[in-house]
Structure formats: C-alpha cells, structure tokens
Amino acid sequence: MAKKGESAGRSWLLIALVVCALLSLYRASPQAAAKTQEATLLEFYEAMESGRLVEPVTRVFDRDEGSTYLAGEMEQKDELNDDGSPKKRKYRVRLVPGENERVMNDLLDNSIKVEVVEKKAAISPFIVQTLFFVGMLALLYWIMYRRMGGGGPFGFGKSKAKVLNGIEAKNKVTFADVAGVDEAREEVQEIVEFLKDPSAFKKLGGRIPKGVLLVGPPGTGKTLLARAIAGEAAVPFFAMSGSDFEEMFVGVGASRMRDVFAEAKKRAPCIVFIDEIDSIGQKRTGAGAIGGSHAYEQTLNTMLVEMDGFDANEGVIVIAATNRPDTLDSALLRPGRFDRQVVVELPTLKGRREILELHGKKITFAPDADLDRVARGTPGFSGADLANLLNEAALMAVRKKLDGVDMATLDEARDKVLWGRERKSAGYSQKDRECTAWHEAGHAILQVLLPNTDPLHKVTIIPRGRALGVTMSLPERDVLNRTRGYFLSEIRLCCGGRIAEEIALGDISTGAAQDIAQATQIARDMVCRFGMSDKFGFQAFVARSPLSGDENPPAFSEGTAREIDAEVRRLVDEAYADAKRVIEENRAKLEELAKALLEKETMDGREVERMVRGEDEAKAEGGEA
Ligand code: ADP
Ligand code: ZN
C-alpha cells in the first residue's frame, strides 16, 4: 500500500516537473529580448508629469535583494519613430525605503495604473509561478511521505537560496554613511577591530560579545549601523528580519535559523543581523499560548542554542535590533547572548544637522536654503525622517521647476513628512470645509492663548493624511521632559475643536474623535503614570505592557479603579469648561479666524498669532523673530 502511493507520487512529480520546465522555457524566451535602462526617480517623475509614462507601471518587490523598483515603458522626450509615434524605452527605477508610499500616492493622484508584483527569485515571474506549483506538489508529497513514517525526502530550508534573505551587502556601507549617532558608533568600534583581526584581538585579551542588541526608535539608523560595522571590517553581512519568520510552518523557522548560522560559521568572521528581533524574541507566555507562538518559541530556542554553541572567538557576531527591549524574553539578555546593549537615540540638534548635511550632499540647494534652520525645526525627527524630508524636497523642487531646493520647499517637505501629505479635496463639501474651519480655529486660538504650549506653526483646512484639517505646532527645541502645565494645556487644546463647532454651528461632528481619544489618554497618563493628580499624588497604577498596550492585572482595588476614573473625568471636564470659557471670551476672534481660514485655507502661525492677539501686541513681541 505504502509502496504504491510512493511511486505514484513520484511519477506525478516527474510529469509535473517536465510540464513546468517546458512551460517556463516557452514563456520566458520572449522576455529575454527586452533591454532595460536604469532611470532616476527624477526622470521618472518628469515622465509622469509630462504624461509620458506608458500604463501600467509595474512595482516589483524583489525578495532576494530586499529591494523595490518600478518598471515599465516611457516615451522618449522629443524622439520619434519613423511613423511619427514617440520612441519608447524600458526603464527601471530603484526605490529607497520610505519612498514607496509616496510614489504610489503620486501615481494614484495622477490616475496611473499600477501593477504590484513580488519577485521571489532572480528569474522571471513565470518560472516563479511554476516553481511555486512544483513546490506545492513537493510539499504534498512530503507530507504524505511523513504520514507514512519515512523521513522527508527533501531537506526543507536546507537550500541556500531560501536561507539567506538579505545575503551580503552589495554596496558597501561605512561609518561615513552614518551621522549623528556618535556614541553608538564609538561603542561598536571595538567590534570592528575584532572582526578585522580576531586572533590579534584575542591575543590582547579583549573580550568580545557574541551578541549586540541595538535599541532605539524606528528609522534611527540601526540597520545602517550594523551594515556599516560589516562594511568597515570588510566581512560578510547576513541580514534577516524577525518578521520573516512570522508566516512559517512549525519547524521551518527553526531550520532556517540553523542554516543561517551554519553558513555564517563557514564565512566567519561575519555579522548576522536580525532586525525586529522582538517578533521572535517576545517574552514567552507560558500556558495558554495561542496558535503561532509555539513556532516562534522554536525559532527563538534554536537561535539561543546556536549562540550558546559557538565560541565567541569564532568570529560570528549576532547583531539584533529592536525598539521594544522591554518586551524581550529575558533569556535573550543573559550573559553570552545579547549581553551588550547599544542605544541608538533620536538625533539631537547637532545630529540632525549632520544627517541633513550627509544626505544633502547629493542635492542642489538654492542660496537661501539653510540646513541649520531645518535641523532646528525638526525636533523628534529620526534619521530616516530627515532623509525622507530631503528627498521629498528635491522632488518638489523638480515639480516646481526650481534650479535648487529653497527654504520654502524644505519647510513644505518638513510639514509633509510630519503631518502627512495634502490630499486633493475631492468630495469635500462646503459644509465640511466650514465645520473644519471652525474646528481648527478653535484649536488654534487656544494654542495661541494658553500658557505652556508649543508655538503655533501653521493651521490648514486642506485635508492631510486622514485629518480634514490640521493645527500644527512645533516645539522650539528638543523636548526631553514635559511638565504638568504642558499636559493641562494640551488637554484643553484637544477640546478646542469640538467647542468651536458647538458654539458656531450648534451641532457637533465626528471630527473630534481623535481629539477626544488624545485628551482622555493624556489625563489617564497624568493620573496613572506620572503622579500628576492632586488626589493620588506620587503613585503609579499601571504596569502598562508595552507589547499589547494592555494594562497588566491592576495592582489596586476596584474602589481605587473607580476613583481613578473619577479623577480622569474631573481633569477632562475641568479642561473642557476652562477651554470653553477662554473661547467664549474670544468669540469675535474665533469668528474672524474661522472666516480667514475658509478664505485662505492655510495660515501661518505668526499670522494667526497677530490676528488673535491684536496687531500691536504681536509687534511688541516681534523682537524674537
Ligand atoms: P532602523 O534600522 O533604525 O529602523 P535604518 O537604518 O533602516 O533605521 O534607517 C533607514 C534610513 O534612514 C537609512 O537607510 C538612512 O538613509 C537613513 N538614516 C537613518 N539614520 C541615519 C543616520 N544616523 N545617519 C544617516 N542616515 C540615516
Ligand atoms: Zn481637532
């Protein structure tokens, strides 16, 4: 019985293979003739703006390279065929991370059709499809085989192509490509020395960690830093992401992990980089674990076994990155594993300046462009945000047909990165606009009048991101600490939109949902986390789990819970009443501002301030500007 099933399976497989091979040969051949040229993103945009793109544009995600590019045909500028039709050429544009979404949005705005393709291997999609087909058959076969008690005939996860997702960095990155994180750079310098010459390092008695954990918010350059370590030491770099292991069958993740380490040991000294380690290295939940967590656990355990199994001096260094170190399983942090942590912070003013300069090298600026001012106006931006800002500005400048990126464009790009892109206001009725104008006027007037607030930057009723309008404020400098006064004002600011709607229109809208959520959250945090309520004083009531956002089982009584709720409500109610008083006292100004917004759509912070405070007062204060 078993024998029969086995041979039947085998012959089926053979037939399928032959058919697939023939099919792929037949279909792949016409493709080979095409000649494709690399194009820059600017060329691509120029073609888009002048309507020379041939639809559809294909967006390809290449899993092997971990890169994304656009491909398709564009008409050549001023070049015609004999019959008078424009000459076409095939292009390919590489997208750097972060550009993806914007380009897709712009294509959407220009109503250009896009096809999205994921390329799994460096061969044509047809072959990928047939391979997939064969793979499915093989899997079936394997499962049947296993049922029958035999060992799998195919070594899963053994094939090298599957194992190494990121493979080695092709274009070398060095420390010169990483700016503004000097401390982190110094801390990893030692690792570079070790990798360059492990035996010399050992002779000198240096102790090198097996694992280094890079901890910091997204986009601060952790991946970049890891690649730079490899680049500086000129060693291979194996990259993968914890999230790669997410959709895997039990056992496959673990086997992949083993293969990566086996390969890495062969190529030592080298670096194994694991991005988003938190997705496999979460605290193990013990009983009641659901579904996939078992698979993660296996992957995690395998990694730990591998790390324990090799001697630190073998030269494989595992670098992992996370922005949530507190969710990591403590087993990861034990000696001999990731016992060294390097913090990669959001860049300071000086750091931002350096990052802007680094990424600005490739950009032509107008004489009035001042990167120092950009750095000052971008507290809280990550390195990736800053790179994005410059990129955005360069593209805007092309569209405006400027010779160089000027200050106004830089400001515009900053706003876009921070508050989302402006949306064309199709389907946005006059009534919505009016409601939004009052709403934003309510926020803005409070932003000007209340103490302890960040300066008002801009108010707009042009929809941005998901919001119908935005009141933008910018902190004056890097903020490391917030005060109680700031939070009290912040809750009041949140109330402003709803209050203005109510006063002016006698009705209220859903536009305040986000404001309400935010006000409630701030009030709750003040009471439960920051010890900022009079009633409870210096006490904390939550051990908020950063993982799920849930609160761990409350360590207080039900009575206290009720009191907390009451205290939160009191804070919010008081803020609402107070904000309402301020707005009512300035009703005339509110109306003036709302009307101006309806007319102008966007107003500068200073303009609003002048209007609200009255011309003279603003002039008296004007010295600082
Ligand atoms: P992370 O891994 O911390 O999320 P990345 O290393 O992926 O961040 O950063 C994404 C991109 O942002 C980089 O490719 C680089 O262009 C830019 N970037 C981020 N931080 C820096 C930095 N400190 N110096 C220069 N560029 C940076
Ligand atoms: Zn609002």
b/e per residue, 544-557, with b = 16+ CB within 10 A? eeeeeeeeeeeeee
Residue 465 domain-assigned (yes or no): yes
Question: Whole domain around residue 216: which residue ranges?
Answer: 162-343
Catalytic residues: 440
83 and 138 housed in the same domain? no
Range 388-402 average pLDDT: 92
User: What are the Cα distances from residue 225, in Å, to 208, 230, 400, 461?
Assistant: 18, 9, 35, 40
Residue 332 domain-assigned (yes or no): yes
Residue 425 domain-assigned (yes or no): no
9 and 71 housed in the same domain? no
Residue 435 CA: which ligand is closest?
2
The answer for residues whose C-beta is within 8 angstroms of residue 51's C-beta and 6 or more apart is none
pLDDT band at 157 (very low <50, low <70, confident <90, very high): very low
Nearest-5° angle of CA 48, CA 460, CA 388? 45
392 and 525 housed in the same domain? no
16 and 134 housed in the same domain? yes
136 and 282 housed in the same domain? no
180 and 302 housed in the same domain? yes
Query: Is 166 a residue whose pLDDT tops 50?
Result: no
> What are the strands, taking DSSP E only, across 12-113?
36-38, 53-62, 67-80, 86-95
pLDDT band at 8 (very low <50, low <70, confident <90, very high): low
Residue 295 sits in a domain whose CATH number is 3.40.50.300
Residue 95 sits in a domain whose CATH number is 3.30.720.210
485 and 532 housed in the same domain? yes
- Residue where a domain stops, chosen among 343, 363, 385: 343
374 and 444 housed in the same domain? no
346 lines ligand 1 (CB under 6 A): no
Residue 502 vs residue 542, higher pLDDT: 502
Q: Is 237 helix (H, G, I), strand (E, B) or coil?
A: strand
- Residue where a domain stops, chosen among 391, 419, 447: 419
Residue 156 domain-assigned (yes or no): no
Tens of pLDDT along 322-333? 988 877 877 888
Residue 615 vs residue 392, higher pLDDT: 392
Dist CA 21 CA 18 (whole Å): 5
Report which ligand 1 atom has the smallest distance to the Cα of 354.
24
Residue 587 domain-assigned (yes or no): yes
Residue 155 domain-assigned (yes or no): no
Query: Is 294 a residue whose pLDDT tops 80?
Result: no
Query: Is 218 a residue whose pLDDT tops 70?
Result: yes
Nearest-5° angle of CA 321, CA 545, CA 574? 120
How far does the centroid of ligand 1 lie from the alpha carbon of residue 613, in Å? 42
Crossing angle of helices 587-600 and 605-613, in 10° steps, is: 150
52 and 188 housed in the same domain? no
pLDDT band at 427 (very low <50, low <70, confident <90, very high): low
Number of domains in the chain: 5
378 and 519 housed in the same domain? no
- Residue where a domain stops, chosen among 419, 454, 470: 419
Q: Respond yes or no on whether the N-terminal peptide bond of residue 153 is cis (omega within 30° of 0).
A: no
Q: Is the pTM of this model over 0.75?
A: no
55 and 18 housed in the same domain? no
For a ligand 1 pocket test, name from 94, 181, 213, 224 the mutation site with the most ligand atoms within 8 angstroms of its C-beta: 224
pLDDT band at 144 (very low <50, low <70, confident <90, very high): low
443 and 388 housed in the same domain? no
Query: What pLDDT score does 475 carry?
Result: 83
Residue 154 domain-assigned (yes or no): no
Nearest-5° angle of CA 403, CA 408, CA 412? 110
pLDDT band at 290 (very low <50, low <70, confident <90, very high): very low
Tens of pLDDT along 518-541? 999 999 999 988 999 988 888 888
How far does the centroid of ligand 2 lie from the alpha carbon of residue 575, in Å? 15
Range 307-336 average pLDDT: 82
Residue 594 domain-assigned (yes or no): yes
Range 283-292 average pLDDT: 48
pLDDT > 90 in the chain, percent = 35
Query: What pLDDT score does 2 carry?
Result: 41
Residue 474 sits in a domain whose CATH number is 1.20.58.760
